[in-house]
Amino acid sequence: MEKWLNSWSLGLSADLNDFTMIKKAGFEGIEILAEQKNAVQYLKYASDLDLKVGLHLPFHDLNLATPDAAVYERTLSVLTEWIANLAEYDGTHATFHGGYAWFSEERNESLFRVEERIIKLNEVAKHHGIELLLENLIPDKLNYCHHIASNLEEWIDLITAANIKACLDLGHLDLMGNDLKAAIDKLAGTLGAVHVSENDGRSDLHLLPGDGNQFTVGLESYLEDRHFGGPIIYEINPYQYSIQDIVNHLSNNNSTVR
């Protein structure tokens, strides 16, 4: 199964040597986090080294579910620009967040709004030959606002309605309280990519697989059962691990995601 790295794990000032190191370690692709100040430079490094590229679309200050028309207009325009940019580098997929309802009571109308907007965004993505992947998010335990999508049912409903695919974030799934195998079986053919990290079951720590509560155990066999052909993207905390730590993890223990 293809192993990729999300560029968040590289920090904000990675250079060509770091990208070379990643490639030598066996990572086949990089999912670039568009919010990083050097994101375009990172796209260039990856493309120069013949690494496959995808994008994690920006989400801070951009709420796809917003009731504010100007914020939505800005969100769509920024996401559209990045999708076009990714296409220039022969990118494959763009992972995105569904935004959030300001109040949990407004969840249903926000979901209705976001469904229409994802359909529209997917037209842009299809035009550029990019596959759109909706990522699952951590539920707001206070139940003040509502993150979209932060439960399995609404996530699958949105993916089905908009005819897109899922980026399954394992750390987020753990905090949603779902079982890994059951979620993979439910997502089945809609699964486009996986974000891999572990945590302690309480907060989203983005630890290397095996360093947390072992939530990732069984991942590869569950995915094989479903004939999953997409990338497994490591999304590892750059404030806790160096690039060398991540490289060592992959080369020393290629079966750690097991």
Part of the chain binding Zn ion (CB under 5 A), chosen from 57-65, 81-89, 150-158, 193-201: 193-201
What's the N-to-C CA distance of the chain in angstroms?
11
Find the part of the chain contacting Zn ion (CB under 5 A) among 38-46, 123-131, 151-159, 227-235: 227-235
**Contact code string over 112-151 relative to Zn ion, x by CB under 5 A:** ----------------------------------------
| Residue of minimal Cβ distance to Zn ion | 195
Q: Does the protein bind Zn ion through residue 211 (CB under 5 A)?
A: no
Q: What token pair was written down for 81?
A: 């620009």
Q: Which range binds Zn ion by CB under 5 A, 7-15, 124-132, 191-199, 216-224?
A: 191-199
Strands 191-196, 165-169: pairing kind = parallel
Given the complex with Zn ion, which of 195 and 249 has the nearer CB atom? 195
Q: Rule CB under 5 A: say whether 169 interacts with Zn ion.
A: yes
Q: How far is the CB of 136 from Zn ion (least distance, A)?
A: 8
Place of tokens 């994802």: 118
33 C-beta neighbours (distance < 10 Å), count = 21
- Sole window of 41-49, 104-112, 143-151, 234-242 interacting with Zn ion (rule: CB under 5 A): 234-242
Q: Rounded to the nearest whole angstrom, what is the least distance from the CB of residue 215 to Zn ion in the complex?
A: 14
Which one, 131 or 169, has the nearer CB to Zn ion? 169
Binding-site residue total for Zn ion (CB under 5 A)?
3
Closest CA relative to residue 135, chosen from 120, 149, 121: 149
195 binds Zn ion (CB under 5 A): yes
Decide: is 97 part of the binding site for Zn ion (CB under 5 A): no
Closer CB to Zn ion, residue 147 or residue 195? 195
The type of residue at 234 is: Y
Output 113 or 195, the one with its CB closest to Zn ion.
195
Distances (CA, A) of 202 to 192, 206, 215, 237: 26, 12, 12, 16
Taking the least distance from each CB to Zn ion, the nearer of 115 and 135 is: 135
Please state the closest distance from residue 235 (CB atom) to Zn ion, in A: 5
206 is a contact residue toward Zn ion (CB under 5 A) = no
Q: Contact region for Zn ion (CB under 5 A) — 19-27, 145-153, 157-165, 188-196? A: 188-196
Q: Measured from the CB atom, is 20 or 178 closer to Zn ion?
A: 178
Tell me which residues touch Zn ion (CB under 5 A). Answer: 169, 195, 235
